[in-house]
Structure 1
C-alpha cells in the first residue's frame, strides 16, 4: 500500500477541477470522490459529492410482519415503537435529540419515545447536506432542517393514506396526534403501529427533494423554500420544534451504559497501545522487546513504519510492555525544528502578498488619509483537541471481512479507508459507530483507524487500540499556528476608511480535501469569517498566505479558522474604537447599518450586561460581535486582573440568533460548553515545539478549564424566524476576543497574542 504524504509541500498545486465540478456549490461526482480519495497515516484526501436520489425512496418496503421501514431513517414496529436512524454523530452536542425533534414534529409523535441508532456508512442516503457522512462545521441542523422534516412528513402522509383507504374517507378529513390517526367525524382512530402492514404495501410519494447544499466553510444558512408534494407545518403550529426537551440518551448516560467506542468488549479481544516517533516525520529504527515479552499478558510486539505497538490481554499489560521496550528512532529531517523557527518562517511569509480573498474599494488610499491608524500583528498558538474519551478503535480483520468499532465523525470515509488498508471492498467492511466522547474535529482523522488495522492484521481475533493521553497530546493534528498582519484606520468622525488583513498559516483543507480548493487556490476554511464581516467596510483587502510548519501536522479544531479570524476582527474593531475615542458598543453599532441581525445581538447583550456601568479598579468589560457559521452572536466578558497579573473571568453573557432554535436548551448548552472550551487557549493551553517534539504531554502541562475556573454564563436566545444555522462551534470562536478586550478595559494593555502570560499584566505599583 502506498501512503501519500501527510501534508502538501509549499510548491504543490491542488488538483484542478473540471468545469462540471465547479458548478453549483463546489459539488463533485461520486466518481471524482473515488478518484480523488487518498490515505495517509494522519488522515485522508476526500472529495464531496451531492446525491440526487431521495433517501426515503431508496429503501425497499418491509414485508408484512416485519417493522415498517418507510425510509432509511425510520423503523416503526407493530407495537408503535419507532427507531430513528440518526445521520449525524453525537459528540455531546445533543444532535440525536435535535434531529429527532425535526422528524417527530412532522410525524406527530413524541421524540422521547424514539430509540436512536447510528446510521451505517451510506453516503447517498445519509450524506446530507454535503454528500458525505461528516459531522462537523456546525452543519448538522442547518443541513438537516428540511430533509428530516420531510422524512417525518412523508411518513405521516403514508400512515394517513393507509387509514383513509381502510376507512374509505378523504385523507384531508384525518388528523394525527401523538402517534395516532384520528377521524373525528367517524369517531375512529388507529395507532401508527396498527397501520404498518398496510403502509408496507404502499409506494412512498415521489418527492422533489431540494438540492443538497454544501455547508462546510460557506457560512450560509439554507434556503427556506420546500419543493415537494408533502406540505410541512407552518412554524406557528410547531409543538416539538422550539422546545427544550431533555436529551433522549440522558438516562443511559446517567446509568453508565456502554455507549462509547472505548466501552467495546468482544469475545477474545486483545488490547493494544502504541508509541509513535517522538519527532514529527521520524521512523522506527530498531526495538528490543525482550523485557516486554516477559510481562504477563503481553502477546506480541508489532512494528510499524513510524511506531511500535504492544498487544496484550488487557490495557495495563500492554502499557507496561510498552514502557519496557528499548526503542531507537531515526529522527528524520525535523529533529531541530522549534516554535521559534516556525514563527520566524510565518513572519517572513507575512511580508509577501498572498492570494486575494477580498479587494473592495481603495484600502491603500483610505489608510493613507486616515486620522488614526492601527498596524498590528496577531498570533495564535498550536492547539491540541484533548478529547475526554482517549482515542481508540477496535478492529477484527478476517480474510473476507473487516469489522470496525469506533466513534467517528466520518463513518463512510472510515469504511473506505478500512477497505483500502485491508485490500477489501468497501461492502466487505462493517463500521459500528458509537457515541463520541468529544470530537472537535479530531475524530475526522483516520490515523488511529489505520494503526488499529495494521496491528489487528497480525491476529485472528479482535484488537482494541487505545492511545494513552501522552500519545494523544504529542501526536495530534493541531490547530494551526496563525500569524496575521492587519492595518486599519478611521477618519475624524470615527468611520472606518481602510482595512487590510493578511492571514498567514497552514492550509488544513489542502491536506484533508484538496479537491475543494479550485482555481482560486484559496483554502475555503482559511477565509471563513473574513468573507462575511457583519460590518460596513467599503475599503477592504484580505489576502491569504498558506505557510506549512515544517513537519507539524495540522487539522480542524473546534471553530476552525472562523475562531482565529473572529479574534483578529473583534480585537481590531476594539482597537479602532479606542483610537477613535468611541465607546466599543457604539463604534460597532455605527458600522452595522446594513446587518440588522448582528446589531440586534449586540444591543441585546450590551443591555443584559449593563454596558456602560462603571467597573471597579482592576476589572473590565469587553465585547465582541460576529457572524459565525451563519449564526449571529454578541458576547460580553467581565474579568478581574490582580496586581500579580492573574486574570479571572467572572461573567460571560451571550446573545445568539441562530434562526429557529430547534432545542433552545441545546443552544444554551453548546454556547456554554463552547465558552468553557475556548477559555483554555486564552490562559492555559498551547502546544509548543522543541527539537521536533511536542513539549506538552498530559493535563499537568496542557491544562484545561476546571470547574473552579468557570465563570457565570448567561445565554439569551433570539428567535429571528430565519432558517436554523450552526451553533456547536460559535461560543468557542467568540469568547477569546471578548475576554482579551475585557482585559484591555481592566489594564489598558492590548493583547495580540495568546495565551496570556501573567507577567504581561503584572502591575508594579
Structure 2
C-alpha cells in the first residue's frame, strides 16, 4: 500500500499545520437522531456555530449517527478493503459510547478533506494506506463516541429530572438507580439539541471493554460469510449499462484509429466510444460488452510505447547495479576503508520481478448523472477527494457536485490508490460519451486487471559486507536499482537528491548497528506503470537485507538469531520481538529430520515483526512451508483478533509472491493474464501460523502490511538449511526448478 513516509507529504489542497490542529466537537439533528463529528481547523473557533465559514458550507461532517431505533452508524474516513479498518474504527466509537456492539454499522464517508483528511498525512488528503488507519482514527473517533455519550446522558438527565452523574450507560442503554432506563434511540433526537461538551474525558485503559478485547469478533463477519456484503461489482442501478475497456497492448501506446461497426451490430451492444485511456465498449450487460470488444478493430500508435521485455530490462538493471549508485540514501562512516580492513568480504546480488496486486475483485466503478445535476460515482475510493476532483473535471461540474459512494472492496493492496483515477475516470468518460443517458459500470476482467494494471517495481540489489577476524560486522553496502513510484505523481516532491524513499525504505533504516554503512540508489526509466504494493519498498529490501545477513552470520560462524541480537539494542522493540519469536518457535530445540528453520526481522509502517519459518523437504528439491511463528509489536492492539488475521493474511500474501508470482513482459507486452499462470498462494500451501502480540501502551501503529516483509527471507533462510541453496532470484520457483 501507500508508504508510511507519506505522513510528511505536503500537498497543495487543504494543507493543515499539525501543531495547530484542533478538534471541534459538533452535533446536528439527523432526522430522529443525532450526528456527531469533528471539524479540522487551523485554530479553535469560539463556538460550534462557526463551523460553517468561508472555508466552505460543507466544512463540517459527522463521524457517527445514532438513529431513532438505536442503530449507531459510524462514518469512516478510512476505506475498507478487507484490512478491518471499519471494525477498528467501530471499536473506538463503541468503546467510548458504550454502545451495543450488535447495533453498530459502518459506512464509508467522503467529500470533506477537513473532516476526513488522514491525520497521519497531515490532514491534507483523505487517503487510506500506509497502514495508518488506526493511527489517524485513534483519538478523533474515540472523542466522537465520548461526545455522543455525554449528549445522550444529558438528554436523559433532562427528561428524567436527575443528575447526569447518576446515569450509567452500558450496551446502548442508559439507566438510573430510580429504575428509569431507555435505549439510545429514545434520546437521540433530544440529544441533538443538547449543548456540545467543550471537552470530553476518554476512558482509561483499565475501563476498556472492547479495545484490546481478544474475543471481540468483527461486526461484519456474518454478512461476509453469507455473501450479503455489497461491493462495487454487486452494484445494480435501474437502466445501468456495463462497459469493458480495450486498453493499449503496450504501455504508452495510443489509439490511432478503430472500427466499431462489427461490434455495434452485436445484439446488446449499445455503443463503442473512445476515451483518453482506451476504447469503452458499452453493452446492456457484461457478456454483450465482451463480445462487442472482441469485434472491435483497433490500430495503435506505439511510437512512444515501452517495447522492452523482462530480459532486456533486467539485463540493464544488472549492469547498472555493478556501477556506482546515482544517489546516496544513507552513508555512515567510511565503508570503503572498512572493507579494505575486513578479514572477510561477502557479496551477493538479488533480483525481484514486477508483481501484480491481484486483488480478488477486479477494478470497477459506476457513474450516474442525476436529474439535479449531481454526479454519483460508486467505487473503491482509496483516494476519494482526488477522484471527486477528476470526476468533476470530466463532467464539467464543480467537485462538490460529485457524490462518492464509498464501496467496500474485495482487496486493493494499494492498487486503488492512484492519482489518475484510472477506472473511475473510465466510468465517467464512458457515461459522458453517451450523454449521461444511463448509469455506466466499467468492469475490468481479470485479464484487464493483470495486463493494464500497475505493478510493484522490479529491482536488483547488490550487497557487500565486511567482517573482522572475530566475526564482527564492520561494513555494509547495498546498491538498489529500480523504478521510482513517487516520480511524476503528486508525491514527486518527496524525491530528495535523487532518492525516492519508497525505493529504499527498509534498507536505509536498518536497525542493526553497523559502523560503516552505505545504501545507494539508481533510479531507472522504464515505461511500465508502477505503484505501491502491500508493504511497498520493504517487499524487496527486507528480503535482500535479511537473507544476506544470514550469509554474513554464517561467514562469521554465528547463530543467525544470536548474530542479529548482537547488532541490536537489548531493550529495543526489534530485540524484543526477535527474542519472543525465537522463544515461541523453540529456536534452540532440534527439529525432526527433514525440518528446517529460518529467521527474519523487519520494521515497516511503525511496527516491528520477527518471523521464524519452518520448512520441510522430501528430498526431491521441493519444499513446503509448514509453520510460521510471528512476533509483532504494533503498539496498542485495538483488535487483537484482527491483528492476528492481518499478520496471517500478510504471511499468505507475501509467501505466494516469493514462491511463484511474477509479471513478465515479452516485447513490452505482459505475458500473464489470469490465475492459471500468475499463481497466488493456494490454500494447501498455507502454513500453520502462530502470532504473538507484544503488549504495548504506545499508540497503535500499522498492521495491514508489516506481516509481509519477513516471510520471504525467513523461508529463504530455512530453504538454505534444507537444500544448501541460496535463493537470490525471485520467485523461488526460478531457483528451485533451475
TM-score by length of 1: 0.87
Between the aligned partners of 1:730 and 1:518, the Cα distance in structure 2 is: 23
Asked if 2 retains the 8 angstrom alpha-carbon contact of 1:334 and 1:691, the reply is no
Equivalent in 251, 258, 264 of residue 293 of structure 1: 264
In the other structure, the counterpart of 2:66 is: 76
1:207-231 deviation line (CA, Å, top 9, x unaligned): xxxxxxxxxxxxxxxxxxxxxx422
In the other structure, the counterpart of 2:59 is: none
In the other structure, the counterpart of 2:327 is: 355
Matched, 1:507 2:499: no
Between the aligned partners of 2:19 and 2:677, the Cα distance in structure 1 is: 46
Aligned-pair distance for 1:126?
Answer: 1.1
TM-score by length of 2: 0.90
Asked if 2 retains the 8 angstrom alpha-carbon contact of 1:284 and 1:304, the reply is no
Asked if 2 retains the 8 angstrom alpha-carbon contact of 1:506 and 1:546, the reply is yes
Equivalent in 336, 340, 345 of residue 373 of structure 1: 345
In the other structure, the counterpart of 1:432 is: 405
Aligned-pair distance for 1:524?
Answer: 2.9
Matched, 1:561 2:533: no
Asked if 2 retains the 8 angstrom alpha-carbon contact of 1:647 and 1:758, the reply is no
Cα pair distance change 1:469/1:676, threshold 3 Å = same
Cα pair distance change 1:640/1:360, threshold 3 Å = same
Matched residue of 1:97: which SS?
helix
Matched residue of 1:232: which SS?
coil
Asked if 2 retains the 8 angstrom alpha-carbon contact of 1:97 and 1:111, the reply is no
1:501-545 deviation line (CA, Å, top 9, x unaligned): 222211112233335416545323223223442322322222322
Asked if 2 retains the 8 angstrom alpha-carbon contact of 1:70 and 1:204, the reply is no
Matched, 1:241 2:217: no
In the other structure, the counterpart of 2:236 is: 265
Matches within 5 A, 1:398-417: 400-417=373-390
Between the aligned partners of 2:493 and 2:734, the Cα distance in structure 1 is: 42
In the other structure, the counterpart of 1:28 is: 10
Aligned-pair distance for 1:401?
Answer: 2.8
Matched, 1:478 2:458: no
Cα pair distance change 1:734/1:513, threshold 3 Å = farther
Asked if 1 retains the 8 angstrom alpha-carbon contact of 2:257 and 2:300, the reply is yes
Matches within 5 A, 1:103-118: 103-118=93-108
Aligned-pair distance for 1:640?
Answer: 2.5
Aligned-pair distance for 1:754?
Answer: 0.7
Aligned-pair distance for 1:678?
Answer: 0.9
Asked if 2 retains the 8 angstrom alpha-carbon contact of 1:644 and 1:761, the reply is no
Between the aligned partners of 2:277 and 2:109, the Cα distance in structure 1 is: 34
In the other structure, the counterpart of 1:40 is: none
* Deviating more after overlay: 608-617 vs 620-629: 608-617
Matches within 5 A, 1:104-183: 104-129=94-119, 130=121, 131=123, 132-165=125-158, 171-183=164-176
1:208-266 deviation line (CA, Å, top 9, x unaligned): xxxxxxxxxxxxxxxxxxxxx42222212211001232221222223322510011101
Asked if 2 retains the 8 angstrom alpha-carbon contact of 1:182 and 1:190, the reply is yes
In the other structure, the counterpart of 1:449 is: 424
Cα pair distance change 1:261/1:203, threshold 3 Å = same
* Deviating more after overlay: 606-615 vs 413-422: 606-615
Cα pair distance change 1:234/1:258, threshold 3 Å = closer
Between the aligned partners of 1:608 and 1:425, the Cα distance in structure 2 is: 57
In the other structure, the counterpart of 1:624 is: 600
In the other structure, the counterpart of 1:421 is: 394
Between the aligned partners of 2:36 and 2:136, the Cα distance in structure 1 is: 21
Aligned-pair distance for 1:318?
Answer: 0.8
Between the aligned partners of 2:24 and 2:528, the Cα distance in structure 1 is: 44
Equivalent in 713, 719, 726 of residue 750 of structure 1: 726
Matches within 5 A, 1:187-336: 188-206=180-198, 229-243=199-213, 244-257=215-228, 259-305=230-276, 307-334=278-305, 336=307
Equivalent in 449, 455, 469 of residue 446 of structure 2: 469
In the other structure, the counterpart of 1:214 is: none
In the other structure, the counterpart of 1:61 is: 28
Matches within 5 A, 1:334-733: 334=305, 336-350=307-321, 351-397=323-369, 400-445=373-418, 446-459=421-434, 460-517=437-494, 520-549=497-526, 551-615=527-591, 619-733=595-709
Matched residue of 2:709: which SS?
helix
- Gaps spanning 5+ residues in structure 1: where? 1-21, 35-46, 207-228
In the other structure, the counterpart of 2:55 is: none
Asked if 1 retains the 8 angstrom alpha-carbon contact of 2:729 and 2:735, the reply is no
Between the aligned partners of 2:481 and 2:465, the Cα distance in structure 1 is: 17
Asked if 1 retains the 8 angstrom alpha-carbon contact of 2:486 and 2:495, the reply is no
Asked if 2 retains the 8 angstrom alpha-carbon contact of 1:391 and 1:466, the reply is yes
In the other structure, the counterpart of 1:8 is: none
1:364-412 deviation line (CA, Å, top 9, x unaligned): 2222222222222221110011111111111124693321111221222
Aligned-pair distance for 1:598?
Answer: 1.5
Between the aligned partners of 1:606 and 1:690, the Cα distance in structure 2 is: 44
Cα pair distance change 1:120/1:719, threshold 3 Å = same
Matched residue of 2:279: which SS?
strand
Matched residue of 1:349: which SS?
helix
Cα pair distance change 1:115/1:476, threshold 3 Å = same
Aligned-pair distance for 1:306?
Answer: 5.3
Between the aligned partners of 1:256 and 1:625, the Cα distance in structure 2 is: 37
Between the aligned partners of 1:759 and 1:643, the Cα distance in structure 2 is: 16
Equivalent in 725, 738, 742 of residue 714 of structure 2: 738
Aligned-pair distance for 1:189?
Answer: 4.3
Asked if 2 retains the 8 angstrom alpha-carbon contact of 1:271 and 1:318, the reply is yes
Between the aligned partners of 2:502 and 2:270, the Cα distance in structure 1 is: 44
1:262-321 deviation line (CA, Å, top 9, x unaligned): 111011111111121111111222323333222211111112355222111110111111
Aligned-pair distance for 1:190?
Answer: 4.7
1:433-484 deviation line (CA, Å, top 9, x unaligned): 1110111011112111112221111221111111111111111111001112
1:19-69 deviation line (CA, Å, top 9, x unaligned): xxx9x964536xx238xxxxxxxxxxxx89869665654x55217x63111
